[in-house]
A = this chain, B = another copy of it.
Amino acid sequence: MYEGIVQDLIDEFGRLPGIGPKSAQRIAFHILQTPQFDVSHLAQLLVDVRERVRFCDICGNVSEQPRCAICRDPRRNQTLICVVEDAKDVAAIERTREFRGLYHVLGGAISPIAGIGPDDLRIAPLMQRLADGTVQEVILATNPNLEGEATATYLSRLLHTLEIRVTRLASGLPVGGDLEYADEVTLGRAFEGRRSV
């Protein structure tokens, strides 16, 4: 609908996740009206991020160095590993400031439908990290859905052969939520996991 490169830019934006054709058009027009310096900055940042950012050799988190900031930090508890599906989950957990151990990013979850088996995940590197006996507890923090639960079950069986404590994040009512609106599975889990007060 537009001349040459404007349409190309709209098409490119439309390929990004979560951006439909209308948003893509809106963003392209925003770019047209943004100072040239700012657009060059964004363009350079895109290239830099893609060139310089990689995944940590140890945990799989995003990093500008072979080892990420968390794996490099000696103050982190080296006896505790939290296993997550995705690097985005690391950021989510870091935001809570509750966890001071290390991470291990699997790069997905077991999903027979999507054709993802245990061999497609970073499970072998996890077993290597556990081999020297430093780690005392592995927290399984995969998503509380079908694939995440399947992955947690698979890992817990695998890890129980080692002398390591294996835990799973608690399921229950979300804080600030309404009991009335909780689904039955979540409410069931909340009963199951009830604690003395």
Contact = CB atoms under 8 A, between A and B. Distances in A.
A182 to B, nearest CB: 23
Contacts of A30: 16-17
Number of copies: 2
A32 to B, nearest CB: 6
Name the interface size band of chain A.
35 or more
Interface stretch (A33-41, A74-82, A149-157): A33-41
B32 A26 contact: no
A53 B36 CA distance: 11
Nearest to A37: B50
Interface of A: 1-6, 8-9, 12, 16-19, 23, 25-32, 34, 36, 39-53, 62-64, 68-69, 86-88, 91, 94-95
